[in-house]
């Protein structure tokens, strides 16, 4: 049945990754995968996850996508490791983001405009836009593959959510943690509301502001510096605060001076800090004369002339004098700070301490909520404070109080919503006490686990140590109202904890608790004769709402009480680093205040995603690509893996580069897909050529080949690593390891095992390698599915077809499967280390070939592997055949003695990397490194670092060179090129023979043919003929083709014939229309036609070999039978071809016991369909194998008569083996006849099985004394063995 076979897999360059992902999305929708996952896991242990609510007033950006991907990977993984993970999406629907949009679109400039419109209408407008982009969010987030429940969401505007906030607030109120006070706070004039300190810290920007130096003339008082000539000099970057000046402040312990200016522009007498004279004078020693020196404490109480007369009455309270406080520094300004107590935190504190203002007085704050001066400041009434700056400067200049004015660049806080500059302004607010529980917050923080940890221990812990009381009230409208009903004199306060309580106290039915629904509700006073209590006007800060989400999202404690308490705190949360002063902080404060413990156990903090140039991403600047467009080009999987493999998952910033997403597609996804496609092609070939339908049985997976054992071991090690690291939430270690695994699978396992996978080494090897590759692919899609959910689903939907129908791994979606447990018994550290050494040798050899511009197609004589451990060299020899093939070398030599080859390491420093760091020590370090001995360099390479003259230098900062010494230094240096890494040193012999050069040219021909086949979209099983033409028919290239015809035809799986012999009527597939690239000064023209030409693989070289076999040599040592197939072969041979089967091997050991076994072996030779033929011997059906020796069995398609053929000896070429135990055996060299001799590796593999050894350790000898070794390195060597006896 077709569903039990792999579906054809498209060529990778024809696949649209985004298109395939759309198909997967439709599949998930059709079978409701996400909800089914939740149903399947409902009785499993719970893994609790809190999703921080975003605002829906804008579209998702890269920050949302990064955090969302991290959340999705972790929660998918939790589900696929046996947990039930409820994933509910949340929306932050209240507060400034929504109100600011309404204010902009309806030209609302302040509270008066809202009152004129009506709170009910204003809130209605807010409600209408609050979910403006909700459908876009759902579409985009779903497209990125994130699974989260949008139907069962929570919104902060739901009355049941708001009711839980009331309950939380009431708990804090009952604990005495809520109070009302006046405090100087960051204030957004655009939004007419105060902000908390952590909100103000979210959006600092470099900006230009005016910088003014102002004169404050000293009054002739009893002060020790009384001097009507002198003036105190103060500096400020907020001129708009000067109308509210009530004092000046100096540092009591620092030095101040009275100076007389000597320049035209500075002729007066000034008092300022001595360390800040440069604020007034370019060259203080020449431009002024010091008249007196004072400690700051001596200036205390000095009176000065006020700038304005707006608040002269405060003079009786001690205003317009010099005060002292240690916060004044010598870092900037003049060392004298002007004090406007209701516009600066320190100003407020200092003036309060000196009694100039009091806590309970009416704030002296002549700036309204829109940031405009009130009528108390007549000169600038109605002007916004920032607009008033130039007018104030102009006024000061006109009255002679301005010393200087300029503009300075500095970092300044902006409103995170309106992106306008904040001011600091005293406002009455409701606070939650936080300062008193700093130790408890730190203790709760210590109970949590953060990735990366340094953000928890440094940034967040430092913020907690300086935690201030939290202003939770906002003078706004669209938010959760603070549930306090008070009397006018504030003597009576009722904190309402629920809707039911409000209904009981007020006697009114309540359905909604927004301001427009409850502001009119009153509660009778308990004091006789007093008016009813009314609700205060403020609403909650939206951060209080989001910090309450663990409780409010389940309407705790009114519903789901047991469910919440069993799952609190959350197992996992994740957001960006900007939330350390936002959501992470508010979650912890509320949880600690309520329960004294943290609200979460584990937290991943991601860094910020910046534009490619390191700037903040800006829609206005258009300095980043739209994330949806990136997905439309490369797919969501590529972007997901790019983000989770970036510095951002380590809490660092990521410079987003689209080209890196594209590169990841090429480096990971396309190779991965190619390995999967190659598997599919070989499964198809197995069925087509050999009639075997591949079905995977894990119980049958018994890896015998070292590369099978390696990739299976590496896979299981990966599983163990992933489980360990995911348990620690270290995505930044897991993702690179997964990417490395893809590289090992595609560039090492598949590459090294192509012959086995293609069936070139026999059916058994083919099936073993396919089973191994399938196991790895299936394991890989299971472990990668949380990270790349789309491509894994695509592969799984096809891979599952070859599983048994009753297999527990055969389901509707890969996401129903659990991430497999590692099978520790399959892990072999020795095997992994051996292959790692192999990889080192190969990569070093490739490097040297690239360096010498010596293509891998050209054979080289030898590679020498030098390592001091014999065990490592033994591993190398066991993998010798892979090194030979991959580096295309004839011989692999191993040695523990570097000195034997006269090679020594020399080191130099990398000036580019070390020059700037070492500075003046660079020359001494250079000399010391140059003097290092070989063993010291080897040790440094092994440890990774080197200490030189007090400097630690990494191995990467060294340039390693190799030198040959001794009597043969010149000879060795001309013969070998050396290179090493931390584990091994290799010497590559780069002096090829003419024979090797010809073999390289033959490989170039193969390469040209394979490229043309790929261009024609041909697959290995397609039957085609390649026609060629060489411009010089007697030149070297033609000789190479003649000499290596068998190799070229075997490698390309197609007959190669002269173009001028091409018959008419051949159906053209493709011809090489590219520019004629020359090979050895000759032009090679190639044409491919459909179908095999007659006489495939019966070229002159094989014919010659056949004739020699029939006329010379020894007889076949083992009993044999010829097998003639009279149908049309699928394997490139003409009809009526003959082959040979051995009845015993070694002689006396039967190999074929039944007629059925004989037919099965014949099917392996010719590839005919199963049950489609009859076997006939001597004109009668074959019933057994006795008395068959020397006869011919005819394999004929059913219904066709056999054509009798005489048997003149074995049809196949052979050699005999004389074994050490005295027995004789045989090896067939070419079977069927005319198909081309087997490869050297094949011959050595068969010999190894007969002798009980390995292919790499087999040695053949031409004499009985076993002194003359027989070379078996090329097809020509194999052909030369025909009819001979070898000894082993």
CB of 548 closer than 8 Å to CB of 572 = no
Cis peptide before 635 (omega within 30 of 0): no
CB of 691 closer than 8 Å to CB of 754 = no
Query: Judging by DSSP bridges, how do beta strands 889-895 and 860-866 pair with one another?
Result: parallel
Beta strands in 612-671 (DSSP E): 654-655
CB of 114 closer than 8 Å to CB of 126 = no
Q: In angstroms, rounded to a whole number, what is the distance separating the alpha carbons of residues 1215 and 1282?
A: 5
Crossing angle for the helix pair 994-1015 and 1045-1052, nearest 10 degrees? 30
- Classify 1251 as helix, strand or coil: helix
Q: Transcribe 345-383 into DSSP letters.
A: HHHHHHHHHTTSS-TTSPP---B-TTSBB-TTSGGGTT-
If one counts every other C-beta atom within 10 angstroms of the C-beta of residue 925, the result is 18
Q: In angstroms, rounded to a whole number, what is the distance separating the alpha carbons of residues 335 and 347?
A: 15
Q: In angstroms, rounded to a whole number, what is the distance separating the alpha carbons of residues 578 and 202?
A: 7
Handedness of CA 1204, 1206, 1209, 1213 (dihedral sign): negative
Crossing angle for the helix pair 33-40 and 17-31, nearest 10 degrees? 50
Of all helices (H) and strands (E), which one includes residue 292?
strand 288-295
Q: In angstroms, rounded to a whole number, what is the distance separating the alpha carbons of residues 95 and 92?
A: 8
How remote is the C-alpha of 1030 from its chain's centroid?
50
CB of 1261 closer than 8 Å to CB of 1288 = yes
Handedness of CA 623, 624, 628, 630 (dihedral sign): positive
Q: Which residues of 187-208 are buried (b: 16+ CB within 10 A; e: fewer)?
A: bbbbbbbbbbbbbbbbbeeeee
Q: In angstroms, rounded to a whole number, what is the distance separating the alpha carbons of residues 521 and 501?
A: 13
Identify which of 514, 576, 586 has the alpha carbon closest to the alpha carbon of residue 551.
Answer: 586
7, burial (CB in 10 Å: exposed 0-12, middle 13-18, buried 19+): exposed
Q: In angstroms, rounded to a whole number, what is the distance separating the alpha carbons of residues 844 and 852?
A: 12
Q: In angstroms, rounded to a whole number, what is the distance separating the alpha carbons of residues 1169 and 1190?
A: 26
Q: In angstroms, rounded to a whole number, what is the distance separating the alpha carbons of residues 864 and 887?
A: 12
Write out the two tokens for 595. 């329960």
End-to-end CA, the chain: 49
Of all helices (H) and strands (E), which one includes residue 165?
helix 159-174
Q: In angstroms, rounded to a whole number, what is the distance separating the alpha carbons of residues 684 and 1021?
A: 8
Residues labelled catalytic: 53, 92, 543, 579, 583, 616, 619
CB of 1215 closer than 8 Å to CB of 1249 = no
Q: Which residues of 338-354 are buried (b: 16+ CB within 10 A; e: fewer)?
A: bbbbbbbbbbbebbeeb
Q: In angstroms, rounded to a whole number, what is the distance separating the alpha carbons of residues 114 and 192?
A: 11
- 3-state SS, one letter per residue, for 337-355: EEECCCCCHHHHHHHHHCC
Give me the count of residues in the chain: 1288
């Amino acid at each position: 049945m077709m569903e039990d076979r792999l579906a054809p897999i498209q060529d990778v360059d024809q696949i649209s990754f985004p298109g395939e992902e759309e198909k997967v999305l439709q599949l998930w929708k059709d079978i409701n995968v996400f909800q089914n996952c939740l149903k399947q896991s409902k009785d499993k242990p719970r893994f609790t996850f809190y999703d921080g609510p975003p605002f829906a007033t804008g579209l998702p950006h890269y920050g949302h996508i990064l955090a969302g991907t991290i959340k999705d990977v972790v929660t998918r993984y939790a589900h696929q490791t046996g947990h039930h993970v409820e994933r509910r999406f949340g929306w932050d629907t209240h507060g400034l983001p929504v109100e600011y949009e309404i204010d902009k679109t309806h030209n609302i400039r302040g509270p008066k405009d809202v009152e004129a419109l009506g709170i009910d209408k204003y809130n209605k407008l807010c409600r209408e836009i609050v979910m403006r982009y909700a459908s876009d969010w759902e579409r985009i987030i779903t497209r990125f593959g994130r699974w989260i429940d949008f139907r069962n969401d929570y919104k902060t505007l739901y009355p049941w959510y708001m009711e839980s906030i009331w309950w939380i607030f009431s708990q804090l109120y009952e604990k005495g943690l809520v109070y009302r006070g006046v405090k100087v706070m960051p204030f957004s004039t655009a939004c007419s509301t105060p902000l908390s300190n952590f909100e103000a810290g979210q959006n600092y920007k470099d900006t230009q502001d005016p910088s003014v130096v102002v004169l404050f003339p000293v009054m002739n008082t009893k002060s020790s510096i009384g001097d009507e000539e002198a003036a105190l000099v103060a500096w400020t970057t907020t001129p708009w605060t000067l109308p509210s000046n009530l004092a000046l402040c100096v540092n009591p312990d620092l030095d101040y001076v009275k100076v007389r200016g000597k320049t035209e522009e500075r002729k007066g007498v000034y008092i300022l800090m001595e360390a800040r004279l440069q604020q007034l004078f370019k060259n203080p020693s020449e431009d002024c004369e010091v008249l007196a020196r004072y400690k700051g404490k001596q200036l205390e109480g000095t009176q000065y002339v006020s700038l304005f007369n707006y608040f002269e009455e405060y003079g009786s309270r001690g205003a317009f004098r010099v005060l002292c406080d240690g916060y004044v520094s010598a870092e900037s300004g003049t060392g004298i700070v002007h004090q406007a107590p209701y516009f600066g935190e320190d100003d407020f504190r200092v003036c309060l301490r000196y009694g100039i203002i009091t806590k309970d007085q009416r704030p002296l704050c002549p700036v309204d909520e829109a940031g405009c001066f009130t009528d108390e400041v007549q000169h600038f009434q109605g002007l916004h404070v920032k607009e008033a700056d130039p007018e104030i400067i102009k006024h000061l200049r006109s009255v002679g109080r301005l010393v200087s004015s300029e503009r300075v660049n500095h970092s300044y806080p902006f409103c995170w919503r309106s992106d306008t500059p904040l001011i600091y302004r005293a406002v009455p607010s409701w606070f939650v006490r936080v300062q008193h529980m700093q130790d408890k917050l730190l203790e709760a923080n210590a109970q949590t686990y953060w990735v990366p940890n340094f953000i928890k221990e440094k940034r967040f812990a430092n913020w907690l140590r300086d935690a201030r009381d939290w202003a939770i009230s906002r003078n706004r409208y669209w938010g959760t109202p603070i549930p306090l009903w008070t009397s006018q004199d504030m003597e009576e306060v009722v904190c309402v904890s629920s809707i039911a309580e409000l209904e009981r106290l007020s006697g009114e039915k309540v359905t909604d608790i927004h301001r427009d629904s409850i502001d009119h509700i009153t509660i009778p006073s308990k004091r006789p004769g007093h008016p009813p209590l009314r609700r205060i006007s403020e609403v909650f800060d939206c951060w209080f709402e989001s910090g309450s989400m663990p409780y409010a999202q389940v309407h705790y404690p009114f519903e789901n009480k047991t469910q919440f308490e069993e799952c609190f705190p959350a197992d996992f949360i994740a957001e960006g680093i900007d939330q350390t002063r936002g959501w992470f902080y508010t979650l912890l404060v509320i949880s600690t205040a309520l329960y004294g413990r943290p609200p979460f156990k584990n937290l991943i903090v991601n860094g910020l995603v910046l534009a490619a140039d390191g700037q903040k991403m800006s829609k206005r600047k258009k300095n980043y690509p739209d994330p949806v467009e990136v997905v439309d080009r490369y797919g969501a999987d590529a972007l997901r893996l790019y983000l989770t493999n970036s510095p951002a998952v380590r809490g660092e910033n990521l410079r987003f580069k689209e080209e890196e997403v594209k590169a990841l597609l090429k480096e990971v996804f396309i190779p991965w897909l190619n390995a999967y496609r190659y598997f599919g092609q070989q499964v198809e070939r197995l069925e087509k050529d050999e009639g075997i339908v591949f079905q995977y049985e894990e119980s049958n997976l018994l890896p015998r080949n070292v590369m099978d054992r390696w990739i299976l071991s590496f896979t299981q090690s990966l599983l163990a690593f992933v489980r360990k690291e995911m348990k620690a939430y270290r995505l930044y270690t897991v993702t690179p390891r997964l990417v490395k695994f893809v590289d090992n699978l595609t560039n090492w396992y598949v590459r090294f095992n192509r012959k086995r996978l293609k069936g070139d080494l026999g059916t058994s090897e083919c099936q073993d390698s396919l089973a191994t590759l399938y196991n790895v692919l299936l394991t890989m899609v299971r472990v990668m599915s949380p990270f790349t959910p789309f491509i894994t689903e695509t592969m799984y939907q096809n891979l599952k077809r070859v599983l048994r129908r009753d297999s527990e791994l055969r389901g509707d979606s890969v996401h129903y499967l659990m991430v497999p447990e590692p099978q520790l018994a399959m892990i072999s550290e020795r095997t992994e280390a051996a292959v790692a050494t192999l990889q080192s040798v190969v990569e070093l050899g490739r490097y040297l070939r690239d360096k010498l511009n010596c293509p891998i197609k050209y054979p080289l004589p030898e590679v020498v592997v030098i390592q001091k451990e014999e065990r490592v060299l033994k591993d190398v020899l066991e993998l010798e055949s892979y090194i030979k093939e991959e580096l295309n070398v004839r011989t692999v030599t191993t040695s523990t003695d570097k000195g034997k080859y006269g090679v020594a390491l020399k080191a130099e420093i990398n000036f580019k990397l070390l020059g700037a760091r070492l500075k003046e020590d660079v020359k001494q370090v250079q000399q010391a490194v140059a003097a290092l001995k070989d063993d010291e360099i080897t040790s440094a390479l092994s440890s990774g670092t080197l200490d030189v003259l007090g400097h630690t230098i990494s191995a990467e900062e060294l340039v390693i060179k190799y030198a040959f010494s001794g009597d043969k230094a010149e000879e060795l240096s001309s013969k070998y090129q050396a290179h090493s890494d931390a584990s091994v040193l290799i010497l590559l012999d780069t002096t090829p023979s003419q024979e090797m050069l010809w073999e390289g040219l033959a490989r170039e021909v193969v390469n040209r043919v394979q490229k043309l086949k790929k261009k024609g979209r041909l697959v290995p099983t397609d039957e085609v003929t390649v026609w060629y033409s060489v411009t010089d028919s007697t030149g070297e290239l033609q000789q190479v083709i003649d000499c290596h015809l068998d190799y070229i035809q075997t490698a390309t799986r197609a007959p190669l014939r002269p173009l001028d012999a091409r018959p008419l009527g051949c159906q053209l597939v493709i011809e090489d229309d590219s520019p004629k690239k020359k090979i050895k000064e000759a032009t090679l023209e190639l044409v491919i036609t459909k179908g095999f030409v007659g006489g495939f693989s019966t070229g002159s070289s094989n014919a010659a070999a056949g004739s020699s076999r029939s006329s010379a040599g020894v007889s076949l040592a083992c009993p044999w039978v010829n097998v003639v197939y009279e149908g049309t072969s699928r394997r490139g041979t003409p009809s009526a071809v003959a082959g040979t089967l051995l009845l015993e091997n070694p002689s006396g050991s039967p190999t074929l016991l039944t007629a059925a076994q004989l037919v099965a072996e014949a099917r392996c030779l010719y590839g005919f369909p199963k049950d489609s033929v009859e076997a006939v011997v001597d004109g009668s059906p074959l019933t057994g194998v006795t008395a068959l020796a020397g006869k011919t069995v005819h394999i004929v398609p059913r219904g066709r008569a056999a054509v009798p053929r005489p048997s003149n000896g074995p049809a196949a070429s052979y050699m005999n083996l004389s074994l050490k135990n005295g027995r004789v055996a045989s090896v067939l060299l070419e079977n069927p006849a005319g198909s081309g001799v087997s490869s050297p590796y094949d011959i050595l593999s068969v010999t190894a099985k007969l002798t009980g050894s390995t292919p790499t350790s087999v040695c053949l000898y031409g004499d009985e004394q076993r002194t003359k070794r027989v070379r078996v390195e090329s097809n020509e060597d194999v052909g030369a063995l025909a009819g001979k006896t070898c000894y082993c």
